[in-house]
Chain A
Amino acid sequence: MLSYEPGTTFAHALDPRTKLAFQAGFAVAAFAYTTPRGLAVLSVLALAALAAARRSPLAAAWDLRFAFPILLAAPLFEGLVVGPPWFSLARARFPALASYRVLLLLFVSAAYVYTTSARDSRAAIQWLVPGRPGRFLGLGIAVVFRFLPVLVADLQRARAAMRARLGTERSLAERIRIVTTAGLRRVDARADALSLALQARCVAWNPTLPRLGLGRRDAPVLALALVLALSPLL
């Protein structure tokens, strides 16, 4: 599972907006240059992003393992041909490059997730989307971060209770219904409690968030993000 971990690396010290800009620029460049040479350059940048977060590519790959089956299957499926020789390397070439491009994108965004706290992300979102829509979004995102582990635990408890009562003997649709109903009831109860608690604590449209400021170390990363974003025009 990918999640934020506190730290003092170069990537932790960057402004969250800089890191978002870098991801966007990287994605533009990856789609524009899906060639062996382009991807070689981008591989160096992706590894540099992980290094800036002091993460090994292997640890990141383990966290991203659920994406691998489809990335491996894509070139295999596309290369299949009916009749001899059964597999065409020429047809599988582009999907293989495209799968690798997605892997690099996953590495770069993993570096963001490892090094950016929910509060920083929220501040960046509210800077990006001004006014009340941005604040609604920021507040909502904060609630999702807070309640995700709680609801995961709720669903696990519902499944454990179902197993203990031989619920595993029931049909798949029944099991899905039981677990989902439990989840919905918990959401309902928690939503009421949450809105009461928010009002009791005077939830405001203008909360105090961490002050975002671009530092000296943001400049080279922002410049690189701009170059990557404009690279298709070169």
Chain B
Amino acid sequence: MSTDTDNVDLVDAAVVENLGRVALFAALMGAFAYVSFPNPFSPAPVTLQVLGVFLAGIFLGPVWGGVSIALYLAAGAVGAPVFSGGSAGLAPLVGQTAGYLWSYPVAAFVVGALVHGGLSVGDPREAGLVRLVGSMVAGTAIVYAMGVVGLMLVLGLGPVAAFMAGAAAFIPAEAFKIAAAVGIVRSDAFVAE
């Protein structure tokens, strides 16, 4: 292990500020696993994890948003109870939830890149409604496509059974999350840096 004891190498102020924001977003993503709402369309409750992915891309931008979600996965892998249902460890990353979890950083990057029109971060309120909704629809498609492929690979399901078990019951609720995200971006209640 690399523990240095002779010199103290201070972290730059700019990096500390980014680190605080990115790591707290990762923790918020974990906290979202504990918030669930009854779903009007199916018995599976609505959790806010995918909304966390959208918001990371929208407010932190493609690069830092992706880093934040990757940090969330790393923290869960070493034991922070941040995955759905308060689970943790390496198993969720190779088990039945693998496809969804690995899709999150990709989706955060894509949502961020589409909303900001590139790798630089601007004010998300300047993005048009079509762009905002379109980017989140693309993000949803990535999450469920990779999630269903993950179920097929890990549980040996065919495409129809995997879609029935892992996407059909959850996709309608995504519309509520997209609507909520648009409301959050458009309001002045939370203004990104």
Contact = CB atoms under 8 A, between A and B. Distances in A.
Contact of B80 (A141, A176, A195): A141
Contacts of A155: 31-32, 34-35
A116 B79 contact: yes
B78 A2 contact: no
Nearest to B4: A206
Interface in B1-23: 1-5, 7-11, 13, 15-17, 19-23
Shortest 4 CB-CB contacts between residues of A and residues of B: A66-B85, A109-B89, A121-B78, A1-B86
Contact of B16 (A99, A102, A113, A195): A195
9 contacts: A31-B94, A98-B156, A145-B75, A151-B24, A152-B31, A172-B176, A176-B180, A180-B184, A206-B8
B31 to A, nearest CB: 4
Contact of A177 (B4, B34, B80, B183): B183
Contacts of B72: 144
Interface of A: 1-4, 20, 23-24, 27, 31, 34, 63-67, 70-71, 73-74, 77-78, 80, 94-95, 97-99, 102, 105-106, 108-110, 112-113, 116, 118, 121-127, 130, 136-137, 139-141, 143-145, 147-148, 150-152, 154-156, 159, 172-177, 179-181, 183-185, 187-188, 190-192, 194-195, 198-199, 202-209, 211-212
Nearest to A207: B3
Nearest to B5: A208
A22 to B, nearest CB: 10
Given A67-B96, A159-B35, A194-B20, A202 B81 contact: no
B95 interface: yes
Contacts of B2: 126-127, 130, 206
B84 to A, nearest CB: 6
Contacts of B127: none
Contact of B8 (A95, A194, A202): A202
B28 interface: yes
Interface of B: 1-5, 7-11, 13, 15-17, 19-28, 30-32, 34-35, 37, 40, 46, 48, 51, 55, 59, 71-72, 74-75, 78-82, 84-92, 94-97, 151, 154-158, 161, 164-166, 176-177, 179-181, 183-184, 187, 189-190
**Overall SS of chain B's interface:** helix
Contacts of A78: 155-158, 161
Contact of B35 (A27, A144, A179): A179
B190 A27 contact: no
Contacts of A1: 81, 86
